[in-house]
Homo-oligomer: A and B are copies of this chain.
Amino acid sequence: MYLASDNTGPVHPRIMDVLAEANEGFAMPYGADPLMEEVRNRIRGIFEAPEAAVYLVATGTAANSLALATLTQPWQTVFCSPVAHIHEDECNAPEFFSGGAKLTLVPGGDRMTPEALERTILKEETRGVHGPQRGAVSITNVTERGSVYSVAEIEALCAVAKRYRLPVHLDGARFANALVAQNCAPAAMTWKAGVDAVSFGGTKNGCMGVEAVIFFDPARAWEFELRRKRGAHLFSKHRFLSAQMAGYLREDLWLDMARAANDTCARLAEGLRGKGARFLHDPQANMIFAAFPRAAHRSLHEAGAKYYIWEGSLEGDDPDEMIAARLVCDWSLGAERVDRFLSLI
């Protein structure tokens, strides 16, 4: 019962199969492999963006940092949520790759509101050359608290960004989970809403280690290629990144896995609700932040369940009694494990 993260689960067997097939004979390195051609075409098709620049890297932090660095000057500041992965969980990688840009936190919770974003933007660049300059806006969807921005919310944030001519980055480490939660088209959630660059995650959704970076305007593609190489993120045996992504996209496997994860999570949420658990955030995708009694934690722990205890419980709860946990469901977790988990509470 691993609910610690969606990076603890296995790779989907169909992706393993494509890796095995890709391992025949010789292939040109550094992205010149034929599978990359397939990947590029598939992603352009999926996003209805026939000119998009598409690249693969192996980690989500690489995707975010390289994408943001391409959109941001070192003297600018990136606007993001205080709980954004780029702020909390990348050990200053965005600062490193951008050459020292700042991250400005938009006050509020897991989801930025257009109003808070605009107020925060307005506070910057009021001091001429002295303060940091306004840079990219970075939106995380699914958020780090398991909630999902709707297309309308993303449109509204992008509208603010565009008003100040700022580029928009979407951290989609859980892009597929957000998409199936919204049941919308990839284009609607991205370029049609005003997003300029996407970190399109595969790793957390059944791949081994692969993320695509997509620029809808290919103007800075060559700069990205140089940044990727200089960041040591260009794979020589690139076909094995391509193969993962090809297997991920073929026959909608990516959507099926995201649906499986979200469905498992919904089942878990429902079960927890039935057990009287209380939720710190609205679980809309494959992540739950819920408080339940200490005794239940003990049983779960003894039964080998793995998850992170979360700081703080809900206001009004007795902290001695109620402890919050972060529970993440990956594509492979399944109903059976969830039911067993619930039975221990």
Contacts and interface: CB of A to CB of B under 8 A. Distances in A.
B229 A129 contact: yes
A2 interface: yes
A228 B233 CA distance: 12
B230 A7 contact: no
Interface in A195-251: 203-204, 208-209, 223, 225-237, 240
A233 B8 CA distance: 17
A100 B99 contact: yes
A241 B91 CA distance: 21
Q: How many copies does the complex hold?
A: 4
A18 interface: no
A19 B207 CA distance: 13
Contacts of A133: 91, 226
Residue among A62, A92, A96 with most chain B CB within 10 A: A92
Nearest to A96: B100
Nearest to A2: B26
Q: Is the interface of A mostly helix, strand, loop or mixed?
A: loop
Interface residues of A, number: 75
A8 B26 contact: yes
Interface string A13-24: 000100110011
A224 to B, nearest CB: 10
Contacts of A30: 129
A133 B240 CA distance: 27
A306 interface: yes
A10 interface: yes
Given A23-B16, A133-B226, A232-B231, A101 B90 contact: no
Contact of A131 (B8, B89, B127, B223): B89
Given A65-B232, A75-B230, A26 B91 contact: no
A11 interface: yes
